[in-house]
């Protein structure tokens, strides 16, 4: 072979691969070899390190950039947990919390307040309405429940079925969970908590119970119906809390939300959410000028204290990969799907392959749903197959692994799902595994990778 021919072959090869060569050679140089690997990739030249700095005009190399190509199947990358400075915790006695309430919190293994709780608690004594927006698992429930219970010690319900505090949540599971926390605090100071949810409202209307109710926790439909017929009277309500506010201000709850708000014009409104709503519905516009916002600096950011693994695969590869992970699993694991039918199929698929699995979704009868949830919480099964009905608000501190069998299509849903792990009180070493198949999923993965 002549030298001229050899050079021509080399030039042809270079022209074919010049884009790839340029992208690798243009990566910013590391300042040191001791920096932490933040994103580790199957293709190691795309690893991202903590001290790597990009200029505004630099193209950030993404491990998922070519994932729309068929040859990308089998690729993966992992966002590694980052060690953060230990958050300062504040003793509750420095926040002037009643000693009986402090003892009640200690029984729940809560000894000190987080910095977010310490900022939120005094705000409930102000004259302003309040928006509490913070990442999942940071203790927002205690942020509003504790000061409300404390403030009601000297202001108990004066009439039967006339609560002083109203807590509205989007689903039954969350109503019972928050109600249980409220009851533990209220019992310490002789206050009464009542929980009302859908499914029994007709029976309650036909044969209502009357008693002292200081704090009423319930779902929008049940509260709207029972207040409309006069079973509960909201004329003395001092605090109206909308927990998971981003869900409650959805159009599907609009009519019920309006019905409740019309009955509590005298109360302080507290909106609690793990995502900041882009806009308030018209029914909440009157409180907007006096709405004080306490926003966590970590809001809308993926959790940094968990391992997040993203696996590019075909849809047909998802079942065998799921089965491999499920059979090796030894700790409580949540598997999320986007559709009720997939959730049902997934639970059946695992059971048929010898892996016990609980299953909850919106299509199920509530009694069956709560039984399946309790089986998982009690440890009778290690895996729970679910739709997004389990992604918001529920206490899942025992869960160590979240697997997105179907990757969500919205960033807020992803944050809520992985927010089931790495929570206040969760074990160390929590991880999220994500199966990525479609172009819409890849688009969201790239947003997460950049952030």
pLDDT in tens, the chain (451 residues): 454 544 454 455 445 444 444 444 444 444 444 678 888 898 888 888 877 777 777 777 888 988 998 889 999 999 998 766 667 889 999 999 999 999 999 998 898 999 999 999 999 989 899 999 988 777 899 999 999 999 999 888 889 999 999 999 998 888 998 999 999 999 999 999 999 998 778 888 888 889 999 999 999 999 999 999 999 999 999 999 999 898 888 888 888 999 999 999 999 999 999 888 778 888 899 999 999 999 988 777 767 788 999 999 999 999 999 999 999 999 999 999 999 999 999 999 999 999 999 999 988 888 888 899 889 989 999 999 999 888 776 778 889 999 999 999 888 889 889 888 877 666 678 999 999 999 999 999 988 887 6
Nearest-CA neighbor of 37 among 76, 67, 77, 72? 77
With vertex at residue 240, the alpha carbon angle to CA 237 and CA 242, rounded to the nearest 5 degrees, is 160
pLDDT value at residue 38: 86
CATH code assigned to 90-295? 3.40.50.300
With vertex at residue 149, the alpha carbon angle to CA 193 and CA 195, rounded to the nearest 5 degrees, is 20
* CB contact set of 402 (below 8 Å; sequence gap of 6+): 333, 334, 335, 336, 417, 418, 420, 421, 430, 431, 432, 433
Nearest-CA neighbor of 85 among 294, 299, 305, 415? 305
Measured distance CA(24)–CA(47) in Å, rounded: 11
* CB contact set of 56 (below 8 Å; sequence gap of 6+): none
Rg, C-alpha atoms of the chain: 26
SS3 428: coil
pLDDT value at residue 52: 77
pLDDT value at residue 28: 46
Longest dimension (CA), the chain: 103
SS3 289: helix
CATH code assigned to 307-450? 3.40.50.300
The four Cα atoms 301, 254, 343, 305 give a dihedral, to 10 degrees, of 20
Instruction: Please state at what angle helix 172-187 crosses helix 140-151, rounded to 10 degrees.
Output: 50
Measured distance CA(233)–CA(304) in Å, rounded: 45
CB atoms within 10 A of CB 99: 10
pLDDT value at residue 212: 94
Nearest-CA neighbor of 242 among 227, 262, 220? 220
| CB burial readout 132-154, b (16+ within 10 A) else e | bbbbbbbbbbbbbbbbbbbebbe
Q: Is 393 left (phi over 0), alpha (psi -120 to 50) or beta?
A: left
Give the DSSP letter of residue 152. T
Domain with CATH 3.40.50.300 in the chain: 90-295, 307-450
Measured distance CA(57)–CA(50) in Å, rounded: 19
Measured distance CA(125)–CA(120) in Å, rounded: 10
Q: Is 74 left (phi over 0), alpha (psi -120 to 50) or beta?
A: left
Measured distance CA(40)–CA(226) in Å, rounded: 54
Measured distance CA(7)–CA(12) in Å, rounded: 9
β-pairing verdict for 307-312 and 76-79 = antiparallel
């Amino acid at each position: 072979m002549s030298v001229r021919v050899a050079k021509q072959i080399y030039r042809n090869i270079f022209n074919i691969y010049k884009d790839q060569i340029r992208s690798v050679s243009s990566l910013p140089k590391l300042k040191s070899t001791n920096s932490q690997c933040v994103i580790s990739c199957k293709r190691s030249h795309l690893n991202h390190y903590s001290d790597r700095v990009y200029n505004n005009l630099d193209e950030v190399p993404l491990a998922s950039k070519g994932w729309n190509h068929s040859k990308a199947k089998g690729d993966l990358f992992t966002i590694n947990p980052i060690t953060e400075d230990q958050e300062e915790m504040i003793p509750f006695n420095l926040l002037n919390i009643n000693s009986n309430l402090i003892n009640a919190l200690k029984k729940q293994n809560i000894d000190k307040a987080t910095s977010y709780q310490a900022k939120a608690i005094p705000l409930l004594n102000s004259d302003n309405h309040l928006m509490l927006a913070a990442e999942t698992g940071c203790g927002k429930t205690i942020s509003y429940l504790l000061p409300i219970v404390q403030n009601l010690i000297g202001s108990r319900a004066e009439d039967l079925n006339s609560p002083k505090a109203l807590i509205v949540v989007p689903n039954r599971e969350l109503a019972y969970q928050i109600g249980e926390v409220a009851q533990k605090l209220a019992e310490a100071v002789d206050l009464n908590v009542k929980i009302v949810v859908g499914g029994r409202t007709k029976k309650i209307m036909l044969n209502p119970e009357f008693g002292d109710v200081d704090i009423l926790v319930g779902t929008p439909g049940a509260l709207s119906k029972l207040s409309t017929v006069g079973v509960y009277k909201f004329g003395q309500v001092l605090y109206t809390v909308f927990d998971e506010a981003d869900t409650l201000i959805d159009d599907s709850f609009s009519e019920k939300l309006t019905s409740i708000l019309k009955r509590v014009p005298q109360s302080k409104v507290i909106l609690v959410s793990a995502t900041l709503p882009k806009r308030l519905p018209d029914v909440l516009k009157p409180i907007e000028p006096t709405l004080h916002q306490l926003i966590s600096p970590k809001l809308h950011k993926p959790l940094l204290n968990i391992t997040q693994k993203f696996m590019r695969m075909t849809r047909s590869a998802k079942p065998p990969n799921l089965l491999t992970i499920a059979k090796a699993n030894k700790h409580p694991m949540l598997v999320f799907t986007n559709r009720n039918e997939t959730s049902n199929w997934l639970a059946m698929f695992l059971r048929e392959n010898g892996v016990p699995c609980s299953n909850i979704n919106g299509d199920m009868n509530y009694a069956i749903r709560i039984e399946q949830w309790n089986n998982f919480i009690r440890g009778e099964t290690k895996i729970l197959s679910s739709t997004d009905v389990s992604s918001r608000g529920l206490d899942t501190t025992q869960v160590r692994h979240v697997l997105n069998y179907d990757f969500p299509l919205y960033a807020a849903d992803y944050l809520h799902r992985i927010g089931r792990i790495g929570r206040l009180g969760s074990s160390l070493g929590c991880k999220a595994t994500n199966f990525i198949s479609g172009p819409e999923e890849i688009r969201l993965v790239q947003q997460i990778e950049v952030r």
